[in-house]
Structure formats: C-alpha cells, structure tokens
Structure 1
Amino acid sequence: MKCHSNTNEFTMANLRFKALELVEGRSTAEPLVPEGKISEYFGTDVFGLEKMEGALAPSIFKQVRKAIENGKKITDDQAEAIAQAVKTWAIEKGVTHYTHWFQPLTGSTAEKHDSFFDASKGIEVLKGSALVRQEPDASSFPNGGIRSTFEARGYTAWDPSSPMFVWGNTLCIPTVFVSYTGELLDYKSPLLKSLDAVNKAATRVCKYFDRNVSKVSASLGCEQEYFVVDRALFNSRPDLVLAGRTVFGSHPAKGQQLDDHYFASIPTRVYNFMRDFEGEALKMGIPVSTRHNEVAPAQFEVAPLYEEVNMASDHNKLLQDIMDRVAERHDLKVLFHEKPFAGLNGSGKHNNFSLIADTGVNLFQPSSSARDNLQFLVFFVNTIMAVYEHAALLRASIASAGNDHRLGANEAPPAIVSVFIGSELSAVLDELEHNGNVKVEKGDNMYMKLGIDKIPEILLDNTDRNRTSPFAFTGNKFEYRAVGSDANCGAPMSVLSLIVADRLKKFADAVDAEVEKGKEKRLAIVDILREYIKESKAVRFEGDGYSQEWEDEAERRGLPNVKSTPEALDAYTSDATVSLFESTGVMSRRELEARKEILLENYVRKIQIESRLMSDLATNHVIPTAVKYQNELITNARGLKDLGLDASGVIPTIEKVSQYVSSLTEDITAMVNERKEVNQIEDMEEQALAYCKNIKERYFDKIRHSVDKLELYVDDEDWPLAKYREMLFLR
C-alpha cells in the first residue's frame, strides 16, 4: 500500500484506505439474542389480543375482539379502556413515549414521538382520543397536489387490525394517514379497502361450495432480499450514501459466476447480525423463519411465515427498520436498493399470495375432495384472468427508479407480466378448455378427482419453479416475484387483492345469471371457467422469461412490455383503472392522479440525484485522479527517453487514460447541459419521461463505462472509490 505523504490532506483515496483499515481491524460483535426458547419471547414486545385479553374487562375485550376481527369501528369507551391498558403495559416495559407509526408515500415509515408524561398533571397519560387519532403535518408529505403548503392539517388514525408494539422506549401505534379532506395519503389505507373487497367477493364465491364460510383473508409471505456491506466502506462511497446504489464500479474478476455464494456458509459477521435482528423481530411478533445467502456475493435473504396481508405488510417495513438499526451495532450497512451493484444479481421482495377461508381452507390448495378441487380451479383461474385483464396495472404497482435497473436484466422477471403455472396444470387447463376432460397415466403421485366429467383430474404438487416468471403459481400460492426489494408491499398487494376481488365478483354475477336461467350450478361454474381459460391464455407462459424470443412472442400476443417507470405509471389513471378503484370505493380518480404524480416526482428526484452524483464524482474525484496519473505516466515516459530507454510500453496506457478522460468530460458536460433543459419542463409526466430518455438512457451507461475503464487503468493506490472486490467479500 502506498504511503500518502501528507496525512492531513483529504482525498477520497485516503478515505478509502482508512475505511479498509477499519474493516481489517473489526472484531466480530456478538448478537444480543434473547435468552430462552423462541416460544418464550416471541411477541413479548407486542400488545396483541392475548395481552389485551389479560388487561381488559371480559365484556370489553369481547366487543373489541369482535370489532377487530370484523373490521368494525371501536367505540370511544373501548378506545379509552385500551389506551389505559396499553399505557400500563408499556410503562412496565420502560416506555416513555408513544407515536402513530404510519407509511406515507415517501416509501419509508414515519413517526412523531409524544411523551406519556403530562407536566400539568405530573403523571403519565394516554387518552383514548390520542390512541385513535393524531394530527401530523400533512403538507410536508407527498400529496400529489391534494394539499397546498399552507393547508397542513392531516390525520393519522389507529388501525386496530395491526397490533401495537414497542421499539426502544417508544410505543408504536400502526395507523392510516389521510388528508384533512379525507383523501388517502399512505399505502395502508387503500390496502385495507382492497382487502375488504377481496374478502367480500371471495366469501360470496366460497358459499357456492361451503355455506359455513363467513370470511376470507388474503395472506402474504415476503421473501426479503438485501445486501450487506461494512459501514466504513459504505460511508466512503457518496453514491451509496445518497442514492443507495453504486453509480460507478468495475466488475471484480470474481463475482457470482461460480454460483458459490448461493446457500453457502453464512459469513460470521453477517450470521451474528442475522441472529441479532431476528431476535428483535421475533420479540415484535414478526415470524421470521428462513435465512440464507443469495446469488450475488454479499447478498442475503430473510423470509417470514405467512400472515394476513395487512399485518405482513406492516411487519415487512418494520423488519427493514429493525435491520437498519441492528446493523449499526455490527458496523454494517444493509442495502435494500434493487440494484446496488451493476453486473450482479438484483434484489427483490417476492410476495407470496394466498386466500384463506375462516374454515381453515387455503383456496389455492388442491386436495382430494371433489368439491374443494372445483373450488380451487375457480380461484386459480379467476386469479389468472385478473392478471390478464390488469397486467399493466400490476406492472405499475411495482414501478420505481430502483426496480427499473433490475427488471428484465437476466436476474429478475421481465417487465412483461405473465403467469407461470407449470406443465401439468397447463395441460389440465388446456384439456378443460378444449375437451372438458383429461386422460393422464397414473403413476406414484396422488391425483385429485373433481367428481364431474367436465373437470379433469389434477396432479397434486405438480408445479416446478420458474425464476424468470414475474407471477408464478408454486403449489398453493401465487408468487409475485417482480416486486422490488425496497418497495412497500401495500402498493402491489392493494392492486392484486383488488383485481382478484373484481374478477371474483364478475364471476359470481355470471354464475348467478346462468343459474337463474336454469343451468345446474356446477356446470355453470365449469362453462364460465372454460371461457376464462380461453380468454386469458395469452398471459400464460412456461418458458424462459429472460429470452428475446419471449419478448417477441409477448408482442405477438399483445401483452404490454413497459420497461420504464414513467411509461408504466400511465396505468394508474387509465379509464379501466379508475373504474376499478372507484366502483369498489378504494380510491377516487383524484387520489389516483395524485398517486401517479407523487410516483413520477419520486422518479424524477431519484434520477436527478444519481445524475448529480455522477457529475460530482466524475468531475471532482475521478477526472482529477486520472489526469494526475496520466501526468505521472508522461513524466515517467520522458524520463525513460532521457535515459535512452524504450518508453513504448507506457504509451498505450497514456493514450487509453486520455481517451476515457476525454469521453468522460464530454459526456458529463453534455449531461449537465441536458439536465438544465429537462429541469425547465413544468409538466411532471413530461419531465419524468425526459429524465428517463434524455438523461438516464442517453448518458448513464456511457459515463459509467468511461469511469469503470479508468478504474482498471489508474493506479489502485490513487483510485478514490472503494472497489467492488473490497465491498462485496465480507467475512
């Protein structure tokens, strides 16, 4: 390692090497794992129904439980009783403050802490009214023009279906967030409305098969992928700090090409970090159950057991918060960006979706019962039909600047929304569509029998997994793989729940109409399913979603292939989308337009930040370093010539460095000038498209190419940015 003579002189190279010295000197931090079995501390920091039952009068608890389970409003008296009970419980745990914990359209969570202590009374106080409602500043959160800056009032309102929890010395109360005039300003509110819609529609359909079903809950399991790097190296990279991803970085000689990181032994520092955050998560009732190395070096995954969608969505954002905070104890930094390192596997948040009846039946689970198998086909086919009808809206629900870097990059599902169901189920649907029957040789596997000729036999556990499919059926659930790792699950799950609800309602209307005409109910169901199978066949695809052949085939089928966020977000305000949301009362046209405006603005700001980072790092660090190195080479070449020695070996390097510096300078100047023009565009949709086409697509790869080539030529001792090989192979 070169010794830098002036230790007081600040350079990025100095910062890089100091960071590396810190990494080399790290001692492994021991995890603060709770003592005892998991069953003894699971949920200890959660004020759930069990603790509520022990703290409330039986008559009040019975009313509260019924209100929570049936989605009914809690009365003022009940709220007051709960407030006193949760305050007592929290104070016993050392809690001093409480907050309404909500999920505004920033993409992160928000909280404002208030003290229990009332100085005027000299006691700790939590009123029922404060539990149920608070008034944060609504104008300072994204609102898409719904609220003016001077119109600051907004409300957070307690969501009793998601339990309160303690984090540190603060009681956190999950809430929705709405404007003073009632418009939805968060991810939770439309999710709750969509879940109510799918409950009503699915329950209605279930009653064709079982009159005892009174409620259907959507369940979700989130597979959360993430990267982990040392905190010192993270802080030495301004692009990671400000954008969450590296805008520059040459690929290391060894990346993920050997597939030796996937499911390999977990590095000690990361293993201790995992144990630590899992302990915190389990205390908060988050049922984390799986941990493993992912495909890319420094990439990992954590997955919980299935929960009701609203709670699972809350738990996922809470889990991200926990991981961020616990990482600090271990001098680590967690990266949730979908593409923090170019050329390596990106990160997703695979959303596994099921529908569960209150009788305990998973409606996506085949069985040995003829009635249940027909019921399975009803929900299975209707979900495929919903995806076919609203593929563009599903694509919009996972659109973001970060996810654009990942989708279609031979590491994640393509931007084309298609459904994978496996060869066996494909054969079943094809035969049902064409012949109403299927003949299959019976082997050692168990077959389902549907009990009527019009329905074929179905093989249990007959689906393989297709990593290239954005929406795959995997035995008893649909896995929406296209969701980005930093996304809020509320957006895609609101859309998925709503489109399934809409399709189930239309299906039930069609069945009832046929029955009224005199057709036998089971045959009416089968005939309508056959129509749906035929109509939605275009969205089913069993092959390699990464291939160019699939893009060509999808175009022939008429499937949308929207590759950028500004274009994808158009689906939020299409006539079909507005009709869907307004007919179910989930969101109004104004709220959808506002949401689209917010997402467009978020996209613009992120690409703008990345563009400015590129300009700053290239102009102030990369180019001066490269020019300095070039001058050293020129001086060395002259010295060789003065000594009568051959300097030809140095000349090609000088020429290459000069070439890339010139290209970089030219492209940075052009991008800065173009950015000035784009910033003058007033219409947000036009500006977002311009940032996508004129800035990101025109310049980002060109600028990166020059910088990454210079990284390979410039002396390693002078290079200002921590390199991929230094950040990714953490032990």
Structure 2
Amino acid sequence: MSNIRFNALQTVLSRTIPEIKPPSPKISDFFGANVFDKKKMKQYLSTEAYESIIESIEQGVPIEREVADQVASAMKAWAISKDATHYTHWFQPLTGTTAEKHDAFFEMTADGAMEKFSGNALAQQEPDASSFPSGGIRNTFEARGYTAWDPSSPAFIMGRTLCIPTVFVSYTGEALDYKAPLLKALHALDKAAVDICQYFDKSIEKVHASLGIEQEYFLVDLALFNARPDLYLTGRTLFGHMSAKNQQLEDHYFGSIPTRVYAFMQDFENEALQLGIPVKTRHNEVAPSQFECAPIFEEINLAIDHNQLLTDIMDRVGKRHNFKVLLHEKPYAGVNGSGKHNNWSMVTNTGKNLLSPGKTPKSNLMFLTFFVNTIKAVYEHADILRASIASVNNDHRLGANEAPPAIISIFLGSQLSDVLDEIETSRISKKAKVEALLWQGIPKIPQILQDNTDRNRTSPFAFTGNKFELRAVGSSANSANPMTILNLIVADQLKKFKVDVDKLLKKGEKKDVALLTIIKRYIKESKAIRFEGNGYSEEWEKLAAERDLPNIKTTPKALDALITEKAQNVFETTGVFSRREAHARHEILLDDFYKKLQIEARVMGELVNSVIIPAGITYQSKLVENVRGLKEIGLDESTYSAQVDIIKRIADHINFIKTNTEEMVEERKKANAIDDTREKAIAYDEKVKPYFDGIRYHVDKLEQLVDDSLWPLPKFRELLFIK
C-alpha cells in the first residue's frame, strides 16, 4: 500500500499541461453552437412551425402533433449536420444526477436502413427505468415510466448524441424527477405574481423566476484520488490529519489560478459555452484546491438544466486533465466545504425585476409587495425550505465556518431593516396622493441597493441588492429541489396576499392604502425570521429558540417537514405535489441518507482493518525490534524511553480504533435490521455516525506517529496542495 501512495505522487509530479484553444477568439462566435436554440429553429423550421413552437415555449400552449413532427425532423437534420448519430431523452431522476438512454436515428426499411426521428419519439419515450427511486410509487417489476419533452429547455448535442430535456413521470402521472414539480411551481408563481402585478401595471402578462447558481468545487489529481478508497467510494475523506498549512493564511482565495487548473477551466468553459451555458466567472475559493464558477442569470428551469449539465461537463473534462472534480459538500475536514449559492429573483415580461426598488413611490410599493411577501413566505415555511436543502453531505457543512446554520433566517442589511421597521410603526396616510409617499416619516427607498446591502455569509437567505441568495444549498445538490419549494411557497403567499388585499378593497379602501396595510401586517408577523447578526453564534441559537424558529440540525428529522399537514396543504394548493408524491420524496431522501452513511461505515471498517491498523502495527513492530536491539547491547532503558512511549501510544490508538470499529459494526447491524426507513435513518444518524469522529481522531493521531514512508494513504498536504 505504501508504494501506491508514492507511485501516485510520482505520477502527479510527471503531469504535463495541455494547451487549450477556444473554437474562436470571440466567445460570441461559438456560444450555443451545440444548442438547437431559437436561431437554429428559425433556420430549420417553417415560419408557421417556428411561431407555433415559440408560442408553446413562452405561453405554455400545447404543441400540435404536426408541429411536433416538423420540430423532430428539423432537430434530426440539424443534429446529423453536427455528426450526431443518436438521440436521448435527458432527464433528472430522484437520484440527484441526470439520466439518459440513447437510441439511434436509423430504422430498418425494406430497402435497408434510413435515418428517422418522429414527433412521437420527440414528445415521449418509455425508458426501462424501474430501478430509479420512486418512494413506493412504482414497484421494481413495473417498468413503465415516461419521459416527456420540455420544449422550454432547448435540445443540445453532447458528443454525437442529441439530448432532449424531459420530465420523468410514472404510468399513473406522478412525478419521478426534479423537473416536473419545478415546472409546476414556476407556473404557480407566474400566475400568482401576475395577479399581484395587475395592481400596479396592467401590461404585465408573465412573470418568470430567474436564477444564477454559483458552483463551488474541489480538484484533486486522479492518481491521488484513486489511492484514497474513501474519496473514491464516498466523495469525502473519512480519515486524514489536517495539513500544517491549510487555509489559515487565506492566500489561495482569489489568488492566481494554478496553470494546470487554468487549462482545465478553459477546456470545460469552452464546452459549456458551446452548449449555451453562460459561464462568466472563475476564481480560487478560500480552501486550498477549491474553486468556483458562476454563470449569468437565466430563467430558472434553464439555469438548473445548465447547472446539472455543467457538473457533468466538469467531471468529464476533469478526467481528460487527470483531475477528479469533488462536489461533496465537505470532502476535507477542517477546511471550508462547498455550496451551490442560488441567487433568485422574479422578472416580468416587460423587463421589470420585481425585487429591485424603483425611482417612484409607486414602484417602491411594488417592490415592497414582492419583497415582504417573499420574507413572509420563508417565515411561514422555513421548515420545508430547510428540508429542501437537507442531505447527509450537507449535514457536514451546515453551521460550519463557511456555511449557514440549520436555522433558516433572512438577512436584509441595516438600511432595508430600518425601512421595514419604520413602515411597521408608521401611520398610513389615507389622504395621500398616489405620487406621494403612502406613509409618513419614511424615507424613499434608494433605487440602487447593491452598494448599501452587504452580504452576510452566515445567513441562509440573504437579500443582496436586487435578489435573494439561498446560500444553504449543497454543492452536489440538484437546485431544482430547493427552488421548487421556494417558488411554490412564494406563489402560495402571493395568493394569500391578494385575498387579504381584495377584502380591504371590497370594504372601500383605496388600493394603495390596502396594499400598504397588508404589507405592514406581514412585516410585523414575519419579523422573527429577520436577523442581521452572526448566524454561527450561540447567542443567535438562543434568540432563535425564543422566537420559535425551527433549528433542526440533522437530515432525518428535518425531512419530517415534508409530510406535515401544513406542508401537504401548501403542496396541494399550488398543485406542485400530491400527498403521494410528497410522501414518496420523504421516503426516497431518508433512504438516500441512511445508505450513504451505511457506505461510509463500511468503507471506514474496511480501511481500518485492512489498511490503517496494519500500517500502525508494521511501524510498531519496527520500534519493538529497535528497542530489543538496544536492550541486547546493554543500553540503559532511559536511552530508548521515547521509542517505548511511541509503542504504547500506537497500541492505545490501535486498541481504541479496533474496539470502536467493532462497536460501530454492531450498531450498523442493528440499524440494518430496522424495517421502517425513517427509524433506520435516525438509527444510522444517532447510533452509527457518532462513532465516526472518535475513530477518525485516533486514526489521524496514528498518522502523525507512523513513519511517513509506511503510511498508505495520500495525506492532506498532498491532496490539497499537489496539483
């Protein structure tokens, strides 16, 4: 084993750096080259078919069979012109990754073979997908599940395959993926938001949610990655003493990008840009070997498809550069983990950002309406928003030095907090003109808040000028899950707001007075969730308890929020999840949780027994032989007391490691015997997982004692710094 580590290090040191050239010096020349976008559709479709598909995309109008046939024919012609030979329905099952089954364009005919792709094949497929998680919606022997084309997300070419974004549903219509509920939530938000916009601007006919996803990740050389079974099988290091130098100097953050990493970044960005992914930002993150990329904001469904596609591209391109991209939220203990910061807003068809203050009192009232309703929505449903970002990986990160705590709170910045406080306590002037402020003593909200609204990195949900940033999403997560929840709870809240406002209008109140009256009430009712201080502090935890804010620190219990009566009501009211779908997702997430801990426990046991303890015993035996030799030549015991002390310390560590590993294995066996998925997940969390830290502590101490040449696993200093 020791040779594996040093062979890996030698391999890393012999790497060469390829020269990466973009398809063209100007990004605009090749951006979207591999996407069947509007420009390509206009080129390959008739005017009537093009206008029909655009109407379907923008208005949600059903696509007629004849148009679907024309689109399929056009897609095939374009794809073949790009050397594609196959097509696939690209979907996002509840595994959290993407899935695809490739079919060739050709079909057999009486004369031989021909390329064919019909509207039916485009619109719907029936993959043999019975093994995907369904939470009891389907039995494994029932293979029928359907993928259905999502025309709002353009098809693209990967390699020589035309990829068609789709939803994935069961034979009986339940969603088996992340996209279908997201589309329902976005539809609910669109309708609810447009209804509210009508109070202010009758020309607004559509509202879409926008999203920008900042993606953090680590890189490690493939040779070192393959020499670490824990990284290979679990995505994180189960053992490893912290390097003497890590991130404490913060010299990696925004530093010069290493040459080899820069080549990798250029390469995956070239591919991403050709696939229409608008990657714009790249930089070093705070931990060694940690990096970030971020795109320009897009419509939310497309942004999530692009992020899923981006992580796949990064993984494939990484292998070309002999890198492994680590998306685990906490691959290395003791340094910052990785998140997927979701920057969310709402934009109208007229180009108005609903979370951006304006120049006039009327536009500011419109801003306050959507701003305060978002705060109220998160306050009312903080528990299901917390559940949406819960995972075994994220449990390692939430509440740590670089990530928000498990308590969902909202940071607004002092200026906006002061404005809301003043509105809450002010007197509404019912005689005020529309052009005047509708309350007395409140200063105008500045149009540009970006310079006045700081970013609180300890806040899970922070307002950052003209958007909210959900920072608690894990780096390996599919953002569709938390974004589905966020959009549906805001949609639900906006519907309730309209009911409350309309009640006052029916009583004869002026519209603007009615709007502000309900806004004032919501500010007061949701005030408990606003917090401007340090979210990591013990004081905040105590204060949050006083405010009755939920603080659920582990995934199995956080997930319970998905199946409460309150959650069921909001899911059904918005039409996003049926009770069966919500319970299925609860079951799937619990199953995923305990299985990942089960794998970690098994890997830990294997490494301890076959790698770690043998390495400790080998070095201990050398020391014993040394002491025996010194004794034989008659040296005084004091001359080898250091060796004896090390022998004893190694023995103590080995005994602790062995005993606790055996106890962990017994607890794992007990947990495995539990039939109920929730109880099994809790048993793994509360009975098995607690052994991990103790075993790791003694393994890491052993690493410090054992001769470096005998230690079998690449160390943190090598994993983090050697590229």
TM-score range, shorter chain: over 0.9
1:292 to 280, 283, 286: 283
Tell me the distance in 1 between the aligned counterparts of 2:259 and 2:519.
52
Asked whether the 8 Å contact 2:138–2:170 carries over to 1, the reply is: yes
Asked whether the 8 Å contact 1:103–1:109 carries over to 2, the reply is: yes
Asked whether the 8 Å contact 1:46–1:164 carries over to 2, the reply is: yes
Q: What one-letter code is carried by the residue in structure 2 that aligns with 1:648?
A: S
Deviations 1:214-248 (A, max 9, x none): 00000000000000010110111111111011111
Q: What one-letter code is carried by the residue in structure 1 that aligns with 2:656?
A: S
**1:42 correspondence with 2:31:** yes
1:561 to 541, 551, 562: 551
* Greater mean deviation of Cα atoms: 235-244 or 640-649: 640-649
**1:643 correspondence with 2:623:** no
1:436 to partner: Cα distance: 4.3
1:86 to 52, 61, 75: 75
2:598 to 605, 608, 614: 608
Asked whether the 8 Å contact 1:84–1:127 carries over to 2, the reply is: yes
1:394 to 374, 385, 392: 385
2:140 to 149, 163, 167: 149
Aligned-pair Cα RMSD in Å? 1.2
Tell me the distance in 2 between the aligned counterparts of 1:555 and 1:613.
38
Tell me the distance in 2 between the aligned counterparts of 1:569 and 1:71.
32
1:277 equivalent in structure 2 = 268
**1:658 correspondence with 2:645:** no
1:451 to partner: Cα distance: 3.1
2:702 to 686, 707, 710: 710
Deviations 1:62-113 (A, max 9, x none): 1111111011221111110000001000001100000000000001000000
Deviations 1:95-137 (A, max 9, x none): 0000000000001000000001213351111111001100012
Asked whether the 8 Å contact 1:223–1:349 carries over to 2, the reply is: yes
- The secondary structure found in structure 1 opposite 2:499 is helix
2:325 to 334, 340, 365: 334
1:638 to partner: Cα distance: 1.5
Asked whether the 8 Å contact 2:218–2:325 carries over to 1, the reply is: yes
* Greater mean deviation of Cα atoms: 473-482 or 128-137: 128-137
User: Within 5 Å, which residues of 2 pair with 1:332-731?
Assistant: 332-436=323-427, 451-454=437-440, 456-459=443-446, 460-461=448-449, 462-645=452-635, 646-696=639-689, 698-731=690-723
1:437 to partner: Cα distance: 8.4
Q: What one-letter code is carried by the residue in structure 1 that aligns with 2:540?
A: W
1:99 to 88, 91, 99: 88
Deviations 1:50-71 (A, max 9, x none): 1101111111111111111011
Asked whether the 8 Å contact 2:361–2:444 carries over to 1, the reply is: no
Q: What one-letter code is carried by the residue in structure 1 that aligns with 2:107?
A: D
Deviations 1:493-515 (A, max 9, x none): 00000000000110011111100
1:165 equivalent in structure 2 = 156
Deviations 1:415-472 (A, max 9, x none): 000000000100000010012489xxxxxxxxxx973335542233221110000000
Name stretches of at least 5 consecutive residues in structure 2 with no aligned partner: 430-434
1:183 to partner: Cα distance: 0.8
User: Within 5 Å, which residues of 2 pair with 1:186-201?
Assistant: 186-201=177-192
Tell me the distance in 2 between the aligned counterparts of 1:32 and 1:665.
53
Tell me the distance in 1 between the aligned counterparts of 2:45 and 2:161.
22
Tell me the distance in 1 between the aligned counterparts of 2:60 and 2:8.
52
Q: What one-letter code is carried by the residue in structure 1 that aligns with 2:702?
A: L
- The secondary structure found in structure 1 opposite 2:79 is helix
Deviations 1:275-321 (A, max 9, x none): 11001000000000000000100000000000000000000000000
1:3 equivalent in structure 2 = none
Tell me the distance in 2 between the aligned counterparts of 1:273 and 1:450.
56
Name stretches of at least 5 consecutive residues in structure 1 with no aligned partner: 1-11, 439-448
2:295 equivalent in structure 1 = 304
Give every structure 1 segment of 4 or more consecutive aligned residues whose post-TM-superposition deviation is greater than 6 Å.
Answer: none
Asked whether the 8 Å contact 1:431–1:437 carries over to 2, the reply is: no
Q: What one-letter code is carried by the residue in structure 2 that aligns with 1:564?
A: T
Tell me the distance in 1 between the aligned counterparts of 2:129 and 2:89.
14
Tell me the distance in 1 between the aligned counterparts of 2:37 and 2:108.
30
Q: Against the structure 1 CA distance between its residues 110 and 517, is the aligned structure 2 distance closer, same or farther, given a 3 Å change threshold?
A: same
Tell me the distance in 1 between the aligned counterparts of 2:393 and 2:649.
32
Tell me the distance in 2 between the aligned counterparts of 1:147 and 1:212.
45
1:75 to 49, 53, 64: 64
User: Within 5 Å, which residues of 2 pair with 1:190-229?
Assistant: 190-229=181-220
1:124 equivalent in structure 2 = 115
Tell me the distance in 2 between the aligned counterparts of 1:13 and 1:574.
52
Tell me the distance in 2 between the aligned counterparts of 1:70 and 1:659.
69
The normalised TM-score by structure 1 is 0.96
Asked whether the 8 Å contact 1:29–1:329 carries over to 2, the reply is: no
Tell me the distance in 2 between the aligned counterparts of 1:36 and 1:27.
24
- The secondary structure found in structure 2 opposite 1:119 is strand
- The secondary structure found in structure 2 opposite 1:138 is coil
Q: How many residue pairs end up in the alignment? A: 709
Q: What one-letter code is carried by the residue in structure 2 that aligns with 1:66?
A: E
Tell me the distance in 2 between the aligned counterparts of 1:93 and 1:284.
13
Asked whether the 8 Å contact 1:572–1:596 carries over to 2, the reply is: yes
- The secondary structure found in structure 2 opposite 1:90 is helix
Q: What one-letter code is carried by the residue in structure 2 that aligns with 1:168?
A: G
1:444 equivalent in structure 2 = none
Tell me the distance in 2 between the aligned counterparts of 1:593 and 1:286.
34
1:109 to 95, 98, 109: 98
The normalised TM-score by structure 2 is 0.97
1:483 to partner: Cα distance: 0.2
Asked whether the 8 Å contact 2:98–2:308 carries over to 1, the reply is: yes
Tell me the distance in 1 between the aligned counterparts of 2:129 and 2:80.
30
Q: What one-letter code is carried by the residue in structure 2 that aligns with 1:705?
A: Y
Q: Against the structure 1 CA distance between its residues 687 and 630, is the aligned structure 2 distance closer, same or farther, given a 3 Å change threshold?
A: same
Asked whether the 8 Å contact 1:374–1:450 carries over to 2, the reply is: no
Tell me the distance in 2 between the aligned counterparts of 1:707 and 1:450.
69
Q: What one-letter code is carried by the residue in structure 1 that aligns with 2:248?
A: Q
Q: What one-letter code is carried by the residue in structure 1 that aligns with 2:198?
A: K
Tell me the distance in 1 between the aligned counterparts of 2:675 and 2:663.
21
Tell me the distance in 1 between the aligned counterparts of 2:546 and 2:632.
68
1:33 to partner: Cα distance: 2.4
Q: What one-letter code is carried by the residue in structure 1 that aligns with 2:36?
A: F
* Greater mean deviation of Cα atoms: 247-256 or 450-459: 450-459
Q: What one-letter code is carried by the residue in structure 2 that aligns with 1:625?
A: A
Tell me the distance in 2 between the aligned counterparts of 1:313 and 1:683.
33
**Aligned-pair identity (%):** 59
